[in-house]
Amino acid sequence: MKKATMKDVANLAGVGVGTVSRFINGTKVKDSTYQKVSEAIKTLDFIPDETARGLKSSMTNTVALILPTIWHPFFSEFAYHVEKFLSQNKYKLYLCNSDGQSEKEIEYIKMVDQNRCDGIIAITYTDIENCISDGLPFVSIDRFFTHDVAYVASDNRKVGQLAYEALAQSGGRHFAYIGSHNEIKNRTMDRGESFEEAVKKENAPFSKLDMLEPVYANKEQIKAFLKANPDIDAIFAINDYEALDVLSALNELGKNVPEDVQIIGCDGMKMSVERDYIVSTIKQPIEAMAKCAVEMVLALAAGKEICKEQLLDVSYIKGRTTR
């Protein structure tokens, strides 16, 4: 049987379509008509067509999330929380894996103008500055565009500071930073820079390995670096993956962690609710970032003015790679 429309309901109930519409939208109607409409809806299995509603209201109750790949614990944890908060606001989520391709990112950004979604939350490292038009409800994560573009980030400068303090406190003497960076700048670069500054302020020995992405033979490069600098005993890695690679490299070189060398990563994703932290890490407030991003994008979609820059706090979590 074909899908019932409001007109069918109105006919069956013996009322006008307007009344059915009001019923649907919760406007008060007389008790007797309420009954009739309610019954007609039930017998016809009527479900309102959201496309038609959207055409009138030009609201979709949908937000698109653009990220490099959902197949990565940090992003999937973030996406989980984004969807959760959107859902609490009766919003749906479009998911976009950009794989770093700006064309796909742009395609999704266009969806706002296509009236397919009301706003965008994006974690992106590609060159899309000129696609972010002025009134676009767009929230950027961990990357600054201009003061007009809303963004939320963790306090990446504090990350380096905390990493240094934790390593120094547990006896680190020769510090190193290991990481990589993209040509397009984003705030994660601050992690290494602030770490370096903190070390140098104390005049402690410092080495660094900073690779340009895309990185090949990551672990081999790390091993070569560690061999060339055998005194290193306190390493800060740009993220937890890198930390795992460093851990693996050290093991292969016969060093003990954390006895000989300590490692701190960054992100602090849990992999799943019940798993322990393997590497010590500076934890990003992923859930808080998601909440903040959702609030901002919904406010922007509603045309509200908001504070466009949000820095969230980070914290040190001891795992098994520091003493």
Partner DNA sequence: CTGTTAGCGCATTCAA
Partner DNA sequence: TTGAATGCGCTAACAG
List contacts with a second copy (CB under 8 A): 3, 47-52, 54-55, 58, 60, 62, 69-73, 76-77, 79-80, 83-84, 87, 92-97, 104, 110-111, 113-116, 218, 241, 244, 248, 271-276
DSSP state of 45: T
Q: Identity (one letter) of the amino acid at 175?
A: F
Cβ distance to DNA smaller for residue 12 or 149: 12
The one of a second copy, DNA, none whose footprint includes residue 96, by CB under 5 to 8 A per kind, is a second copy
Q: At its nearest, how many Å lie between DNA and the CB of residue 22?
A: 6
Neighbours of 14 (CB within 10 A): 11
Give the footprint of DNA on this chain (CB under 7 A).
3, 5-7, 14-22, 24-25, 28-30, 32-33, 46, 48-49, 52-53, 55-58
The one of DNA, a second copy, none whose footprint includes residue 275, by CB under 5 to 8 A per kind, is a second copy
Cβ distance to a second copy smaller for residue 45 or 231: 45
Helix then strand then coil, % of the chain, to nearest 5: 40, 20, 40
Cβ distance to DNA smaller for residue 45 or 183: 45
SS3 184: coil
Q: At its nearest, how many Å lie between a second copy and the CB of residue 23?
A: 17
Interatomic CA distance for residues 65 and 77, integer angstroms: 13
Interatomic CA distance for residues 277 and 320, integer angstroms: 7
The one of a second copy, DNA, none whose footprint includes residue 217, by CB under 5 to 8 A per kind, is none
Residue 119: which H helix or E strand, with range? strand 119-122
Contacts of 305 (CB under 8 A, 6+ apart): none
Q: At its nearest, how many Å lie between a second copy and the CB of residue 111?
A: 8
Question: Do residues 322 and 166 make contact, with C-beta atoms less than 8 angstroms apart?
Answer: yes
The one of a second copy, DNA, none whose footprint includes residue 15, by CB under 5 to 8 A per kind, is DNA
Question: Do residues 75 and 67 make contact, with C-beta atoms less than 8 angstroms apart?
Answer: yes
